Amino acid sequence: MPVLLARGSEVRALDNFSRGSRANLDEADVEVVEADIRDADAVARALDGVDVVVHLAAYGSVAESVGEPFENFDINVRGTLVLLAACAAAEVEKLVFASTGGAIMGNKQPPVDETTLPWPISPYGASKLCGEAYCHAFAGSFGLPVVALRFANVYGPVSAHKKGAVTAFITRALRGEPLVIYGDGTATRDFLYVQDLCAGICAAVDAPLEDEVVHLASGGETSIDELARLVLELTDAPDTPIRYEERRRGEVERTFAKPERAAELLGFAPTHSLRDGMRKTVDWFVDRRDG
């Protein structure tokens, strides 16, 4: 939101705060509508006078989606359908949809790109593929301009609420607790710093695109073992042990994406290395602990 406000945009946020905190918006010049994305009446009211929608609401955990596939579907698929219908009715100028570049692909051989056939192995990945399909359908049936952005694994400050390895590793390292890796540590991910992600989202808002799918990725492949050891280095906890546990169902083994189409269509290029971005992220967690 700071990025949008810095652009001079007027911002209205719809959030039920089931995961995030309203306190994160207290100092921002943002109109807040506290509601669930599945509440059609609330969504319709929130869209009054809105030109562009950035749809980030999601049940975002792969592991949790395996345990609660129906809730995952209800939020990610039905919620997206409710929003798309309201956007079409309100004649918004564009919707930018947050998809995923890893879970949606399953165990396809990386690097993947926009021509790779999606083959999700988790309910979360399947729900995002459904969301992309509905976006495409509303572009075709209702003339609603949509851009689906397949995010890499996003990390950065103000992420204590996030489920995932980065938050878990930093939190445990700062407490002096063993880091837990599910599997043998060789699984890989494509990590993207949040500021780079925001630049990509803004580029998608500005680009004259009507119905596109684009990967927002660093193009780099990092193993979970490498990530854990980088966190221990940056938190000055090199002797903290790493514990390996059974691999969790639904999680892919290797994933990273080619960034060329994002560069071509959006002029997108990440500016943060993993080390630089992780340093800023660790500093935020340290400041939050010490504050």
What are the contacts of 83-87 at 24+ separation with CB within 8 A? 83/37, 83/43, 83/53, 83/55, 83/57, 84/134, 84/135, 84/138, 84/144, 85/40, 85/138, 86/40, 86/43, 86/44, 86/47, 87/47, 87/53, 87/138, 87/144
Tokens standing for 33?
């509508």
Exposure letters 254-273 (e unless 16+ CB within 10 A, then b):
bbbbbbebbeebbebebebe
Beta-carbon neighbour count of residue 7 at 10 Å?
11
Residue 84 near residue 78, CB atoms below 8 Å: no
Beta bridge partners of residue 100, listed in sequence order: 151
153-155 vs 191-193, strand pairing mode:
parallel
Amino acid 110 reads P
Q: Choosing from 59, 124, 134, 155, which is the catalytic residue? A: 124
Residue 184 near residue 50, CB atoms below 8 Å: no
Active site residue 155: no
Phi, psi torsion values for 154, nearest 5 degrees: -85, 140
Residue 192 near residue 153, CB atoms below 8 Å: yes
Which residues have a catalytic role annotated?
Answer: 124
